[in-house]
Structure 1
Amino acid sequence: MTEETWHQARLIPTSGISGAEEQERRATSALLAVMGAVKEFARAALGPVGSPSGTVETYVEVPFMLGEKRVYPDGLIRVTRGGRSWTALVEVKTGRNELATEQLENYLDVAREQGFDALITISNEIPAVAGQHPTKVDKRKLRKVELHHWSWTYLLSTAVMQKEHRGVSDPEQAWILGELIRYLEHPRSGAMELDDMGGNWVSVREAVTTGTLRATDKTLPEVVSRFDALLRYAGLRLGRQLGTDVVHVLSWKELADPGIRAQALLESLVSKGELTGAIRIPNTVAPIHLTADLRAGRITAYLDIDAPKDGRATTRVNWLLRQLKAAPDSLRVEAFVANARGDGAAELLGTVRESPGLLIHDPKKEIRAFRVAMSRQMGVKRGRGRGGFIDSVLDLLDTFYGDVVQYLKAWSAAPPRMRETEVVPTQEPPSVASTAISSQDGAEQAADGPGDAPSQWDGRSSEPPPFSGDQGDPLVR
């Protein structure tokens, strides 16, 4: 037997998973064990839910008494730093299993009685809004205990970003984290990615196409929620590849009240047949907007970029074209002028490359911004694979970022330059001998010997003073 048929030993094997219960137990144990061993991963996951940085202890299937019955949360995490201790219960679901309200409320009661800080749930459910829990519970039970949710996609993205981009200091811990990543990426682990738009997707899409969709349709909330979940999943997936946090763009009001966002999507779907949203990638020129037009069967990704503040209209168009060298000719480019409403001049990139002036309707008007958009046929199936709506959206976002967004840079004005002054050469005047008396002092001093006494004659009398005997030889007249 050749070595190609041998199976490499793994820290967390996927073989031997016989059912949902074993799948759930193994995923819980693997995750919590790695969290206790790899401190950087534990800090990245537990920090956002309020845990301090400290020593991490993890346990599985810890029994507690709740009234007269015994309950078994899937896990427990305790973080200790100095005299402070933070503890959270953990409830895990894998595959298509969903969290149950009654079970979560029981664990919230246990956490309150034990003085624990939080309950963390893990499943394949992706809430429409970050921070929102997919399961409704009695809010009175959240007065003393916090409730947090992790999707398996989020945990996988966090692990990949920590290992591949942020780094793990200890090589052995990095290998352990890599084993968890390999396990979660295996289909038998039960850590599934978003693969379904829900049972009502096809009926709602057909109702939009035929014009029979009504705002009172009870199937609409699930569809709009799944669309926002898809945007969050797309951000996590793209962030995993780029090594950065890609977030779903929402207003402060929508973050505070997710119902506002859901109602806006519902109204847009009923009135225009469109689902819209945006994601933001750090250090890019603008958020990427996504529009799914269910009536036309098209999906479009676009962004707006400010035009340069100076230069002629042609100069501004050429500035954009230089940044779109890798973009396909089918990209749509639109130019907006200042103090104008409505759509601007729009052409395909291939046409604009040949004739940049097509984006300039009036050379006297200032171009203030551009819009670049990529459009494709929308997948209609609810699931993954060829012809699926989810894959059509993910492929479009990947292509749009790879061919367009990553090459775009915002315009910045050139720094001011110092004024160059003309240097005039100066000529020194020729030296002129002075005839003043003061200029002759040097000659008189040179005539006197170094040992001569200073003269006592001030020039007022006609004769010099007589020679004093103690000054040397007698004066000879």
Structure 2
Amino acid sequence: MSIVKEFGLTLLKPLGAPAGNFETYIEVPFDTGDRKIYPDGLIRVSRGKATWTALVEVKTGKNELAAEQLEAYLDLAREHRFDALLTISNEIPPMFGVHPTKVDGRKLRKVDLHHRSWSYVLSTAVMQAEHKGISDPEQAWILRELIRYLEHPRSGAMEFSDMGQHWVTLRNAVRTQTLRATDPSVPDVVARFDALIRFACLRLGRQLGTEIVPGLSRKERADPQIRTQDLTRSLTEAGQLTGAVKIPATVGSVHLTADLRASQITAHISIDAPRTGRQATRVNWLVRQLKNAPGDTRIEALVANSRGPGAAELLSVVRDDPSVLVIDPKKEIRSFRIAYSAPMGTKVARGRGSFIDSVLDLLDTFYADVVQHLKSWSAPPPRLREAESEPEPALSSTALSSQDGAVAER
């Protein structure tokens, strides 16, 4: 961060650091009574009279952050008037801005607590190096070496690796319809699924070179407990885990549904239909954009002033006969829902046949074959009416002429 300032600023500016000079230190000793404390790092950013300082605690591999240690560092930061404590580990919290470790809230009155996963750090480095660019060639080389190191399997910077120890128990309880909201396995799996959605956003954003975030409602962003309650209800009542991914410049959010009873995962997106033309013409407008989509993609046409599902058919059938989505030509098609399903992996850890990889692969496929080709309909601009040319009037025999009154000589 101190050498590649563009990278350091991208990581720390959202935490409150100014765009200034970076100073970074490792294992700085602090005396606290009868013992010394050695935080993993210390960062100081200065610009003019403004200074932002933070302690850093790092965990690698499967090591998790400990509340007792973090609370000691928070006390230390408050004593020395530091602004924040930044933690970095492989833990991915279920929601951005939520710390994966619960600490005493009283210790956060004067010191901010921030967390970044190694997946986030790697994604930020890749986007800065490959998409935003680094002005200095030597700094660009250093950042690429950091990326090379973080991507090495022995670096300790791991991707989202498993669904936790309760995954198999919960999955079996869903299939037998014996799962209850009070089961101890529910909170852990719900949190890990939201963490998986966040990891999928980081992973796809790294490939596309843009920031992708989970699609959450305003209430869910304001109160994470609402999201947890809704997901718990969906899991216990319908056996489904649902989430959304918000990708910039696309027609809408991609919704992901894992149906544990049917062992199937589905990705779908909605798009508004054109406001003009016949109903079959509107269907053809969509089909032309789905030339790369597989034939078993499901298309549903939703009509105006109608509740419940609309007419639905596979894309292979709609390509041959667009009228299958037109139940009543008098009812206007207002939107389409495009969905693609795949078998759900069951294994708890990453690898072939795992739940995590089946979700990630479906998102990649659905984006590549469907989402990136969709464009919203826009009405053509109004055209000027061409002025009609008026015909020249014919000469009348009574019109005046310079030859009037002239007498021909004989």
Instruction: Output the TM-score relative to the length of structure 1.
Output: 0.82
Alpha-carbon deviations, 1:37-92, whole Å to 9, x = none? 00110111011111000000100000112232210000001001112111000000
Instruction: State the secondary structure of the residue aligned to 1:374.
Output: strand
Percentage identity across aligned positions? 67
Residue 250 of structure 1 deviates from its aligned partner by 1.1
Aligned AA (1:217) = D
Q: Aligned to 2:161, which of 195, 206, 210? A: 195
Which of 277, 302, 305 is the equivalent residue of 1:336? 302
**Is the counterpart of residue 265 in structure 1 residue 231 in structure 2?**
yes
C-alpha deviation, 1:427, in angstroms: 6.4
* Among 369, 375, 379, the residue aligned to 1:413: 379
1:143 aligns with 2:109: yes
Q: Which residue of 2 aligns with 1:126?
A: 92
- Cα distance in 2 for partners of 1:229, 1:37 equals 31
**227, 249, 258: which one pairs with 2:193?**
227
Give me the whole-angstrom Cα distance separating, in 2, the residues matched to 1:431 and 1:390. Answer: 95
Is 1:239 the counterpart of 2:212? The answer is no
| Partner residue of 1:319 out of 285, 294, 298 | 285
Amino acid at match of 1:169: S
Deviation by residue 1:146-184 (Cα, 9 ceiling, x = unmatched) = 000000000000000001001111111111000000000
- Name the residue aligned to 1:22: none
The AA in structure 2 aligned to 1:284 is T
2:174 to 194, 208, 211: 208
What is the RMSD computed on CA atoms of the aligned residues? 1.4
Q: Of 7, 10, 13, which residue of structure 2 is paired with 1:47?
A: 13
Residue pairs, 1:33-432, within 5 angstroms: 35-426=1-392, 432=401
Deviation digits for residues 274-324 of structure 1 (CA, Å, limit 9, x no counterpart): 000101000000100000000000000000111000111000000000000
Letter in 2 for 1:54: G
What residue ranges of structure 2 are gaps of 5+ in the alignment? 405-410
TM-score (norm 2): 0.96
What amino acid sits opposite 2:337 in the alignment? R
Superposition pairs of residues 449-464 of structure 1, within 5 angstroms: none
Q: What are the ranges of 5 or more consecutive residues in structure 1 without an aligned counterpart?
A: 1-34, 436-477
C-alpha deviation, 1:258, in angstroms: 1.0
Distance 1:64 1:46 in 2: 23
Q: Which amino acid aligns with 2:323?
A: G
Distance 1:184 1:217 in 2: 37
C-alpha deviations, 1:411-456, integer Å up to 9, x for none?
0000011111102255698875599xxxxxxxxxxxxxxxxxxxxx
Write the letter of the residue equivalent to 1:423: S
AA aligned to 1:300 is T
Q: What SS does the aligned partner of 1:279 have?
A: strand
Deviations 1:330-373 (Å, cap 9, x if unpaired)? Answer: 10011111111111111110011111111111111110110100
Q: Which amino acid aligns with 1:95?
A: G
Deviations 1:235-254 (A, max 9, x none): 00000000001100112221
Helix, strand or coil at the partner of 1:59:
strand
Give the distance between the partners of 2:90 and 2:149, measured in 1 at CA: 15
- Relative to 1, partners in 2 of residues 1:431 and 1:89: Cα closer, same or farther, differing over 3 Å? farther
Q: Which amino acid aligns with 2:26?
A: V
